[in-house]
Amino acid sequence: MLRAARIKFVTITMFILLGVFIVMGSAIYGLTYNKSSLGTYKTLNDLYVKISVEGMEEAHIPRSAILFISASGGQEFVCDESSFTREQIDELYLSAKKSGQSEGRIGDYFYRIAANNGGTVFMVVDRSIEKAFEQQFTTFLILVMTVSYIVLFFVVLGFSYLVMKPVQNAFLRQNEFISDAGHELKTPIAIISASADALSLETNNEYLDNIRAQTRRMNSLISDLMSLAKMDETKALLDNSEHNLSALIGKCVLQFDAVAFEKNKEIVTDFEPDITLPCDKTSVEKIVGILVDNALKYSDGKIISCSLKKNGDKAIFSVYNETATLRAESKNKIFERFFREDHSRNRETGGSGLGLSIAKKIADINKWKIYANIEDRKSVTFTVMF
């Protein structure tokens, strides 16, 4: 449980940091791109102003070129020869005319077509250096953010241990208390039970029956609490060898036939034969026993249906019974400790309210999936995917 909480803490924190990094990176890139674009259009504006004021020859700006076509078709050409040739300018001008736009970009060149002195002026600036810088800056930004994100992941991971340390200590102390208290309570309960049995040899009445029933219930509750504490404390050593689940689960369910007969109920099974999977035998027996026993205790119908099906490389075991007590929204709480939809039913059946919690813990330890499907006040189906 603590490991799951730590993983959740790290995952949520890293998602938040990822969002922050994306926003920051986008903002930095946007500002850089916007500054570069503004610089480009400022250069084009300066060119146009210089042409109008100073004329073609004086309007020269580094890494720019100007082509003026008069109304009569004559042409004047001025350029930075280190960046352009006349052939390039002609090609760029034809491409710009084909696009039908008076302003735009062709590769690393930005252009503008405008009317001037009764003719047409074509201005173009070379922004290859700025674009190369943008690419390098973007690559560097992504690299820095990636490295920072990885470093922050390990920082958050280490921090999660510090955050969870007090919780872990409190959890361990709680389990130690439950374990110690359980051992201490077993002795007086055993004495009370033995005394009640001795008294029943001399006289028997409903009060002695109540004492013996409640001591049995208390013993069951203490055993369940100690089982949960033990499973919370450490992961059990699992023996995941190959087992025939069909035979193993069939044997477990068969043991409840006598109990079902006493309660005037019937267990109906539908098992696919020879389903073999690696699994811990003890865990399978415990979880099947808990689910079938739970169905027998709380079923409002006479039929308990158990099925086992193969699904790819998984096996699915289901237990179905009718119920008039569970609401559909209870499926989110049904595996919580001491959860009760109807407390009076608990007194009637003698349940401790921990059986399904133990089943969930067994499933988590073995990395199985367990869930409940509740039809409101009609039926419930518990499913385990091995």
DSSP one-letter code for 237: P
- Does position 351 have pLDDT exceeding 70, yes or no? no
pLDDT of residue 283: 82
- Does position 205 have pLDDT exceeding 80, yes or no? no
Sheet holding 103-106, edge to edge: 75-79, 64-69, 119-126, 109-116, 103-106
Q: Is 335 helix (H, G, I), strand (E, B) or coil?
A: coil
pLDDT of residue 355: 76
The pLDDT tens digits for 290-309 are: 888 888 888 888 888 888 88
Q: What backbone phi and psi angles, to 5 degrees, belong to 63? A: 60, 40
CB–CB of 2/167 below 8 Å? yes
Q: 349 vs 105, which has greater pLDDT?
A: 105
Residue 147's pLDDT band, with cuts at 50, 70 and 90, is: very high
Q: 59 vs 292, which has greater pLDDT?
A: 292
pLDDT of residue 209: 72
- Does position 377 have pLDDT exceeding 80, yes or no? no
Q: Is 45 helix (H, G, I), strand (E, B) or coil?
A: helix
Q: Specify the residue for token string 């004559």.
A: 74
- Does position 236 have pLDDT exceeding 60, yes or no? no
CA distances from 108 to 27, 94, 121, 132, 357 (A): 23, 16, 20, 9, 66
- Does position 338 have pLDDT exceeding 70, yes or no? no
Secondary structure percentages of the chain, helix, strand, coil, to 5: 60, 20, 20
pLDDT of residue 178: 62
CB–CB of 265/302 below 8 Å? yes
Mean pLDDT of 30-39: 76
CB–CB of 330/306 below 8 Å? no
Q: Where are the domains of the chain?
A: 235-385
Q: Are strands 276-280 and 240-244 parallel, antiparallel or unpaired?
A: antiparallel
Average pLDDT, the chain: 78
Distance CA 106, CA 110 (A): 6
**CB neighbours (10 Å) of residue 240?**
12
- Give the distance, in angstroms, between the CA of residue 359 and the centroid of all CA atoms in the same chain: 22
CA distances from 96 to 64, 124, 336 (A): 16, 10, 70
Mean pLDDT of 90-96: 85
Sheet holding 266-271, edge to edge: 266-271, 303-311, 314-322, 379-385, 369-375
Residue 180's pLDDT band, with cuts at 50, 70 and 90, is: low
CA distances from 319 to 5, 98, 252 (A): 30, 73, 13
pLDDT of residue 111: 86
Residue 8's pLDDT band, with cuts at 50, 70 and 90, is: confident
The share of the chain scoring above pLDDT 90, in percent, equals: 2
- CA dihedral defined by 252, 257, 262, 263, rounded to 10 degrees? 80
pLDDT of residue 97: 85
Residue 151's pLDDT band, with cuts at 50, 70 and 90, is: very high
Mean pLDDT of 343-351: 51
CATH number of 235-385: 3.30.565.10
pLDDT of residue 71: 72
Residue 42's pLDDT band, with cuts at 50, 70 and 90, is: confident
Residues 6+ apart with CB under 8 A from 323: 298, 299, 300, 377, 378, 379, 380
Distance CA 383, CA 368 (A): 10
- Does position 153 have pLDDT exceeding 80, yes or no? yes
Q: Is the pTM of this model over 0.85?
A: no
